[in-house]
Structure 1
């Protein structure tokens, strides 16, 4: 492989130079002016080809220790900036955050305590203490489990930020990666991590500064602490292999943080194994008193009177419907978002006697609340993302688009939306299969005419005709293939290439039902909005990771 890197760029450059020189020889007969113009173009092209060939053929020198140190510092800075912005967008950096308690789940789904060293518990509103307890673990391995919407990913984000805020000397860089795209049968954990870091943090590709393969070397040398989000997002039949691969990887490099839904992780532990020597924490339902305390701080003072019936209900009926519904952090966020604007009536929540009904109401109200007129910029109770969303989308258009995406996820039987595959979900273009050949023929004909006219002085008539035909055919085939590759095709499982949500398909809320937890591109935004009607789901640009 190293040898091919040496000769093939020079071969490409040599072929390019030969072609350009041939073109110059053909145009010399057109006159001095055409020859001079062509020669200047050729000189520039040859210089570019030679420069590219030299750059691509350089041997892949291993990164030095100093370069790896620089790469680790750069990675830490990028991760810290990324998840600080994400935490702010989710409202996780409020001065008085919601208190989510995490108890030890060692006896339920963990390894022997003597293997772990100690148990772990904590609160999400005291992340410095939680991070200190994590650092006190001998092997620094942690599994975070909880019900849907319990705040698993939120805790992982806050833990990553805290570990990066004041890192210890030689401490690995925590990097949060979503497991939805990992197939353990095709790729071991370490190469997958290196590839994801290489893709997600392109600044590390600066070979001049960090050396070649900086991401791979950082992972190989144990300078990355993997924070793996969503073990339950991996297909069920792959989870045992994924767990085995994780255990194999951490046998070489100790630290690990893993998140998963509770039921799926318990089932996996019963069928396979545990994460070796890892502490396990389980999310507890949010207590009504903590919700009251949080809302009194998060809601602006002028809106407290509107929230007073809800606060009174929580205080007076700590096991009532409202308290049960708001015991899930995601629902607290939903309530704050839905009733964050002036003129809304949070007291509506007290009119239902069933927690599930309240949840459905909040989910149904989320899209209209997010995509309505922008709130006042001084209203701190409303996330900034609402102003951006309202400026781009009308509520009805947003509902239609989100319903389509949710139905696409259901038909694809996957957790995620890959943007490069979205064209498969659209209706075929009216021209159908002939669109590629027809457009290619037109482009080829134009190219052939231009070539025949340009070289009429240098070629005899018969050769000119052959040149015209060759250029036309080659261009037509090439253009036709490119157009057909980009052709918008229909989904074979849906009539006409698509299923209109609500017409023979399922509701967008049910599209992700039963699938894994979250993925970086879709169901993480869609799953929280489960509803038996055809209401849409809101893609929060990875901001409803709080649903974990």
Structure 2
């Protein structure tokens, strides 16, 4: 999860204060140890006193910044406004994703859902539908199901089903319909779909804690300065969110049981809930937890009948059906109910009996304009599994062939680049294998988060860390050594520079950057001028304190005047850069919901901005300080070189969000090995546009879990 921007700044301020105290004491001790110890110590004490006066005078400015940045408590009007903002973001998010998944083209598949007959997985009917008979609904009449859901005593629903039966699709339909009709009762909670696999019940024992954390990451508009602090947490705690938890079956068995227990402990009387899971996994989870989900109605799908499947495929065909389809649909309508004897009609009906199978048949044979005759060939497919595998094999080349690249932003179904089908399959198969069989014995996952690429693929090893640290350390050490050497001598300068480079290199190599969460950057200035002024003011306070400490430490090692000049100039420059970066990390209420590409671009923008800002600020300040000490021409050249090196290293490795750096290192190594493309995120964006992947917030998933399993079974290339 992404941490709130600024926590690293407060940590930096704390350590600067500690370092300052230690440095001052060491400085006075050094003075007392000399021949004129008392006199030197007295002079240094006076200097320290003067230096301490400056931060003291700046404390009121810091307090003013804190007061001006503080936001009042949450009011009911603000809650209502935040709900409207969130509802608009979720509605737009799933409207776009529904178009990408072709859910309404031409209409949703008519899957019949009924209340389960398995009494062991469901609470007593009187606890959720008093006086109401068994529920039956169809996914092509989502308004009817939504009305029945709203009429429940406690609005809690569990959607079960086998693989490919349309559980997630039904959940998305419910979210969209609940939002579309929310205007009738704005007090209703806002439905938000989230992959339940990201819920760690050990870190977040209560559902509302995790909900607030996820809302804070996935919907940055809730962190806008015109909303009270902690709005995401407030919405979750006060019951204004209807959590739609997708994919309980994707968790390991022990965590599935923990989720069942945590849900029952978290839900109050009026709390609403929707959960999706495969039937067998949910049954085992309930049995292991020793309890069902309290007051939750459980529904399961009925197989799509051959008549319904034929009618759907016929609606997807052109008005004048291509050759072969009339016979294919006729065989499908009259297919026997068993696949014994390898009857092609029965095999076709078994595959078309699920929403996934119907979608595959439509994409490969209708959208791909393929001859359907092989579907009726008695010797072609030995059963439903073989036919389904054939459809999965044809999915990638069909989608790439039928959807050529386009740069038109109004066409979301077309990729932005042309891809080779074989190469695309190898790349996607590698991702599928690493997600299904992750390193270090981690559990399999259906979620691909780009910032976890290094951990998922084990591409940043200890050796990689050491190499990165060594490179950064050498660059910083040589550059700083050259700059300092111009002032105090080359040998001393190189000694100081290499020591500084070693420290920076070690911090870069052993830091947490390979496991950082993505950040956020909003570079729009309109309406954010006062916020920028407050952030810059606080940055100057921190920068001046930092500069004094660095100046005294550098002066103790070299020349005091030189050290103070370097420290103050560098500190002020760093302070301005800190304030600018802090300002950029504050979102606005107009921000869209976080999508994978948007998350990657925002973190890239933040890292590039931080690196460039720190590099230029420190480089120019360091160059000016050295230039005034040893001569403008030579000093500027050496100082800017050293400052740029330090600033770039600082910008890349210091801060809350260095996910883009880890992504760069991981994709470089994986591309060299031929596993993934160098431009991974643009490729995944194209795969999403093609319909091979789906997006849930900032996370990618394969279009269907069975598609991931099919690709994961591909043998690794030799």
TM-score, length-scaled by structure 2? 0.59
Question: Structure 1 residue 245: deviation in Å?
Answer: 1.0
Change in Cα spacing, 1:437 to 1:259, as seen in structure 2 (3 Å) is: closer
1:197 is aligned to 2:197: no
Per the TM alignment, residue 441 of structure 1 is displaced from its structure 2 partner at its CA by 4.1
Within 5 Å, give how 1:284-363 maps onto structure 2: 284-317=302-335, 319=337, 320-341=346-367, 343-351=369-377, 352=381, 354-363=383-392
Aligned counterpart in structure 2 of residue 171 of structure 1, from 179, 188, 196: 188
Residue 115 of structure 1, aligned match among 116, 123, 127:
127
- Greater alpha carbon shift after TM alignment, 421-430 vs 275-284: 421-430
Deviation of 1:277 after TM superposition, in Å, equals 1.1
- Higher mean alpha-carbon deviation, 108-117 vs 140-149, is at 108-117
The reply on whether 1:270 has 2:287 as its aligned counterpart is yes
Higher mean displacement: 132-141 or 301-310? 301-310
Match of 2:278 in 1: 261
Per the alignment, residue 414 of structure 2 pairs with 387
Task: Give 1:535 deviation, angstroms.
Answer: 4.3
Which of 433, 440, 459 matches 1:407?
Answer: 433
- The reply to whether residue 102 of structure 1 matches residue 118 of structure 2 is no
> Equivalent residue of 2:201, what SS?
coil
**Aligned pair partner of 2:478 in 446, 459, 472:** 446
Q: 1:100 to 1:299 in 2, by over 3 A?
A: same
Match of 1:161 among 158, 172, 176: 176
What is the SS of the residue equivalent to 1:282? Answer: strand
What TM-score do you get using the length of structure 1 for normalisation?
0.76
Q: Is the 8 A contact 1:141 1:256 kept in 2?
A: yes
Which residue of 423, 434, 446 maps to 2:454?
423
Cα distance 1:160–1:437, how it changes in 2: closer, same or farther (>3 A)?
Answer: closer
In 2, are the aligned partners of 1:9 and 1:57 still within 8 Å (CA)? no
Q: Deviations over 1:232-255 (max 9, x none)?
A: 122101222211111122225421
Conservation of the 8 A alpha-carbon contact between 2:213 and 2:233: yes
Match of 1:129 in 2: 144
Shift of 1:370: 2.0
How far apart in 2 are the matches of 1:122 and 1:466? 81
Match of 1:371 in 2: 400
Shifted more, 146-155 versus 427-436: the winner is 427-436
| Distance change (3 Å), C-alpha of 1:158 and 1:59 | same
d(CA) in 2 for partners of 1:279 and 1:431? 53
Distance in 2 between the 1:241 and 1:166 partners?
A: 34
2:485–2:491 Cα contact (<8 Å) kept: no
d(CA) in 2 for partners of 1:481, 1:9:
15
Instruction: Render the CA deviation track for 1:339-360: whole Å, top value 9, x for unaligned.
Output: 2345411232222352222111
What SS does structure 2 have at the residue aligned with 1:339? helix
- Conserved 8 A contact 1:285-1:328: yes
1:292-314 Cα distance to aligned partner (Å, 9 max, x none): 11111122224444432321121
Look up the match of 1:206. 224
CA contact (8 A) 2:454 2:460 kept: no
2:700 counterpart residue number: 521
SS in 1 for 2:258: helix
| Bigger Cα Rg | 2
2:15 and 2:469 map into 1 onto residues whose CA distance is 32
Q: 1:183 aligns with which of 178, 200, 221?
A: 200
- Superposition deviation, residue 284 in structure 1: 1.0
Mapped partners of 2:353, 2:309: distance in 1: 8
Give SS of 1:186's match. Answer: coil
Preserved contact between residue 9 and residue 54 of structure 1 (Cα < 8 Å) = no
* CA–CA distance in structure 2, aligned partners of residues 477 and 330 of structure 1: 55
- Match of 1:371, SS? helix
C-alpha change, 1:373 and 1:287, in structure 2 (3 Å) is: closer
The answer as to whether partners of 1:436 and 1:480 remain within 8 angstroms in 2 is no
Q: For residues 51 and 306 of structure 1, what CA distance do their matches in structure 2 show?
A: 77
SS at match of 1:421: helix
Are the equivalent residues in 1 in contact too, given 2:485–2:493 (CA < 8 A)? no
Q: Identify the residue that residue 398 of structure 1 maps to in structure 2.
A: 424
What are the Cα deviations for residues 103-140 of structure 1, in whole angstroms up to 9, with x where unaligned? 11154321111111234220000001110011110111
Cα deviation for residue 179 of structure 1 reads: 0.4
Measure, in 1, the Cα distance between the counterparts of 2:429 and 2:67.
Answer: 46
Per-residue displacement from partner, 1:257-289 (whole Å, max 9, x unpaired)? 111101111222333211111111101111111
Aligned equivalents of 2:497 and 2:74: distance in 1?
46
* Residue-by-residue CA offset, 1:388-409 (whole Å, 9 max, x unaligned): 17x3421111111111112212
